[in-house]
Amino acid sequence: MKIEFENDKTKDKIEKVLCTSCKNDTKHKVLTSINEKGTEPWGDYASFDWNTNYEIIQCLGCDTVSFRYHSINSENTDHEYRPIPTIRIYPKRSKDTLTTKHYFNVPYNLQRIYSETIDSYNNGNLTLCGSGVRALVEGLCQENGITGGNVEVTKKDGSKEKQLRTNLQGKINGLHESGKLTAQHADILHEHRFLGNEAIHELSLPSKEDLNLAIEIVENVFDTLYEIPSKGMQLKSKRLKK
Number of Cβ atoms within 10 Å of the Cβ of 65:
10
Could you give the CA distance from residue 230 to residue 18 in angstroms, rounded to a whole number?
34
Write down the mean pLDDT value for the chain: 89
Number of Cβ atoms within 10 Å of the Cβ of 171:
23
Number of Cβ atoms within 10 Å of the Cβ of 181:
22
Residue pLDDT, tens place only, 46-57: 899 999 999 999
pLDDT for residue 71: 97
> What domains, with CATH codes, occur in the chain?
2-90 (no CATH), 108-241 (1.20.120)
- CA distances in angstroms from 202 to 10, 131, 136, 198, listed in the order given: 50, 11, 19, 5
Top pLDDT among 233 and 12 is at: 12
Residue pLDDT, tens place only, 85-128: 999 999 888 888 888 899 999 999 999 999 999 999 998 999 99
Q: What would the DSSP string read from start to end of 139-198?
A: HHHHHTT---EEEEEE-TTS-EEEEEE-SHHHHHHHHHHTTSS-HHHHHHHHHHHHHHHH
pLDDT for residue 241: 74
pLDDT band at 192 (very low <50, low <70, confident <90, very high): confident
pLDDT for residue 196: 67
pLDDT for residue 199: 67
Rg for the chain, CA atoms, rounded: 26
pLDDT for residue 160: 84
pLDDT for residue 187: 86
Could you give the CA distance from residue 72 to residue 51 in angstroms, rounded to a whole number?
5
pLDDT for residue 143: 93
pLDDT at 232 over 80: no
Q: Are 196 and 138 in contact (CB under 8 A)?
A: no
